A and B are shown apart, each in its own frame.
Chain A
Amino acid sequence: MTDITTEKARIGAPSAQPFINGFTEEGESLSPLNAAESKAPLAGEAVKRHSHGGGVGIPDSSRAGRLTSYKLADFKPLTGMEEDWRFTPLKRLRGLHTEVLNGAAPSVSVTAPDSVTVETVGRDDRRIGSAAIPEDRVSANAWENFTEATVITVPAEVQVDGEVSVLLTGQGTEASAQHVVIVAEKFSKAVVVLDHQGTAVVSENIEIVVGDGAQLTVISLQEWNDDAVHASSQQAKLGRDAKFKHIVVSLGGDLVRVTPSARFTAPGAEVELFGLYFADAGQHLEQRLFVDHSVPNCKSNVLYKGALQGRNAHTVWVGDVLIRKEAEGTDTYEANRNLVLTDGARADSVPNLEIETGLIAGAGHASATGRFDDQHLFYLMARGIPEEVARRLVVRGFLNEIIQQIKVPAIEERLTDAVERELAATNH
């Protein structure tokens, strides 16, 4: 693998010179994309002016200082210079950050065993807000505008056979708001698949409650049509000894921006965040995750893998992991791997690890972006493997590490086929 950028760090590693221009060990300091219009050098400057999330003493650069609010008015209009929007082409959001989101939301169709409760509720339902609070303007806009929510409950101690399938079908290009709440009560066990299809312009809030001792897997598939625009905040709150596995798969859509987060409320919980994305020419696929270690003895493991091909295919991965002072005994690792298949594609990858206590079991992060180039191709072909087979071999192998985490055979098969189709599209 020819590494374009490689960064690895473990606790105790001596601090190095900035590895990439404009980047410090804390992360990026200035957007290279929006540099032309940027005057304030640090994202923190912009955030500080209207920040009331962190309070006194929280450094501007800390994820802990990020503004959170249920009110849209608390978030200033976006300029593209904000730290969390600096990679996103705002013009292509099609109003998710500026319009009233009153278009028809994607239809929701849930297929689930009888043991699972599925309800459609109004804004005043007590479970709304039980796991999430918007962390950006687009999420807050959806929160302010959604009219009804789908609540899926796995009752206490119920072990669901098979998966709960939630099909969300886009209803067109009017900007809309969606809200889904998934509750896995204590000691329950379930797999929930959010299957996004069709054409939509939608900002979505997914709230996920993982009760004490519950084991929940949530798989979010974005196989939208080419013209879809999708912003999805997927926030999980974990109880004591809870196990949560989250898998994001983004393949289709013009702009897809998924922001998963996991918050621990009691010790002993474990979270695994996986992601797979495959960007074609012109596609913008963004993933920004946040793991908030605020209690002792929790574990987190993050692995996102992306492939890119074609002109102006753009992927963004930002992984924020925060280990707060109270979170002693934390064990965390996050990694992002990108495979650039053709010229003209761009992968941004930013692992951020903030550590406020030294009393931890382990913490690390890694990021590597490599390209599949003529040398790889020559090597494989020199062993008798035809070009197309060689290309498939590499990409399939690379992405399979994530696909095999899904463990729902029908979906694994479907995604393997989808990856094959993406690859076939490269034969231009």
Chain B
Amino acid sequence: MSTLEIKDLHVSIDTEQGTKEILKGVSLTIRTGETHAIMGPNGSGKSTLASTIAGHPRYNVTSGTITLDGEDVLAMSVDERARAGLFLAMQYPVEVPGVSMTNFLRTAKTAIDGEAPKLRTWTKDVKAAMAQLRIDADFTQRNVNEGFSGGEKKRVEILQLELFKPKFAILDETDSGLDVDALKVVSEGVNRAHAEGNMGTLLITHYTRILRYIKPDFVHVFVDGQVVEEGGPELADRLEEEGYDRYATGAGAATIAAADAAAQA
């Protein structure tokens, strides 16, 4: 059992207009076996949270903490975080020239496990995982993400998730740009990884569509860098019907509570 704990996280970025605060005090605790969905309108800071956990250099943590089983994640370099068990499935996976998928997957697996995987079982595992995600076998010979379609890139992210077996998976809008078939394939992959029972999942999404295939235990609504509402799966259903309009941007939770009260009256 592991715990990823985010406490009062404030994050800013440097822009040409000066420093801009994106996350304004986010707290969140995820445990092994749990699936948390983070939902919110564009620009609410969802992806910033994902990238900050992974350690992207663009984001500056100004205050707050992130710990993994008590260890200070913010003190770790990007690769150390991955080796500690954090995995970010990226919204826009980059193409890496010159590195074949085979070489990349084996190198990463070796780095994460601290030892090279046994060649025979590894090759078999990769093949099997690729088949389940409907990824053509010849992808292993191609360079990482090079020339892959948007859907193919997302499937390859989930392939890595299944092979690297992280303690916590952060899925940054993995569903965006996928057609229904691809969405199902990708969701099945996440569910398989989850079913092994050793992973917690932070699912970041703009749409509720993916939540038909991946069932969240908790839903957190992000607006303007803060969690404005939290609840169970039923909150997602409500968002599906009502959208984000009732969370007026810039408004605090108090406004929403008032709006809710008015709606019930």
> Which residues from chain A sit less than 8 Å from chain B, CB to CB?
1-2, 337, 339, 370, 372, 374-376, 378-387, 389, 393-400
The chain B residues found within 8 Å of chain A, CB to CB, are: 54-57, 77-79, 81-83, 88, 90, 93-100, 103-104, 107-108, 111-112, 143-144, 146, 160, 164
Please measure, in the bound complex, the distance between the C-alpha atom of A253 and the C-alpha atom of B4, giving whole angstroms: 53
How far, in angstroms, from A2 to B146 measured CA to CA in the complex? 10
User: A395 contacts which chain B residues (CB < 8 A)?
Assistant: 98
Q: How far is the CA of A375 from the CA of B145 in the complex (A)?
A: 13
Q: Kindly provide the distance from the CB of B120 to the nearest chain A CB, expressed in whole angstroms.
A: 22
Q: Residues of A contacting B104 with CB < 8 Å?
A: 380, 383, 393
Instruction: Choose among A379, A386, A399 the residue that contacts B96 (Cβ–Cβ < 8 A).
Output: A379
> Main SS of chain A's interface residues?
helix
Q: A381–B103 Cα gap in the complex (Å)?
A: 14
Are A382 and B88 interface neighbours, CB within 8 A? yes
Closest Cβ of chain A: how far from B257's Cβ, in Å? Answer: 38
Residues of B with C-beta under 8 A to A385: 79, 82, 107-108, 111
Which of B55, B107, B143 has most A Cβ within 10 Å?
A: B107
Q: Least Cβ distance of B144 to chain A in Å?
A: 8
Q: Considering only CB atoms, which chain B residue lies closest to A368 in the complex?
A: B97
Contact assessment for B97 and A383 in the assembled complex, using a CB-CB cutoff below 8 Å: no
Most chain A beta-carbon neighbours within 10 Å: one of B55, B79, B83: B79
Asked whether, in the complex, the Cβ of B78 is within 8 Å of the Cβ of A381, the reply is yes
Q: B95's contact among A1, A381, A397, A400, by CB below 8 Å, is which?
A: A1
Contacts of B57 in A (CB 8 A): 374, 378
A339's nearest neighbour on chain B, judged by CB, is B97
Residues of chain A contacted by B95 (CB below 8 angstroms): 1-2
B103 — which chain A residues lie within 8 A by C-beta? Answer: 393, 397
Closest CB of chain A to B244's CB: distance in Å? 29
- Report which of B78, B83, B111 forms a contact with A378, defined as CB distance below 8 A: B78
Query: Which residue of B55, B95, B103, B160 has the most chain A CB atoms within 10 A of its CB atom?
Result: B95
Q: Contact between A383 and B111 (Cβ–Cβ < 8 Å)?
A: yes
C-alpha gap A82/B44 in the complex (Å): 57
Q: With A382-B88, A383-B111, A385-B107 as known contacts, state yes or no: A393 contacts B78, CB within 8 Å.
A: no
Taking CB atoms, residues of chain B closer than 8 Å to A393 are: 98-99, 103-104, 107
- State which of B77, B98, B146, B164 has its C-beta within 8 Å of the C-beta of A383: B164
Distance of A383 Cα from B97 Cα, bound (Å): 16
In the bound complex, residues from chain B placing their C-beta under 8 Å from that of A399 are 98
Q: Is the CB of B111 within 8 A of A398?
A: no
CB of B51 to closest CB in A, whole Å: 9
A-B contact pairs, 18 of them (CB 8 A): A1-B95, A1-B97, A1-B143, A2-B95, A339-B97, A339-B98, A380-B104, A381-B78, A382-B78, A382-B79, A382-B81, A382-B82, A383-B112, A384-B82, A385-B82, A386-B79, A394-B97, A395-B98
Given the contacts A1-B146, A389-B107, A393-B103, A382 and B55 also touching, CB distance less than 8 Å: yes
Interface-central residue, A382, A384, A385, by most chain B CB under 10 Å: A384
Most chain A CB neighbours (cut-off 10 Å) among B97, B98, B107: B98
Q: Which residues of B contact A384 (CB under 8 A)?
A: 79, 82-83, 108, 111-112, 164
A-B CB proximity, top 5 nearest: A398-B98, A397-B98, A384-B82, A1-B97, A383-B108
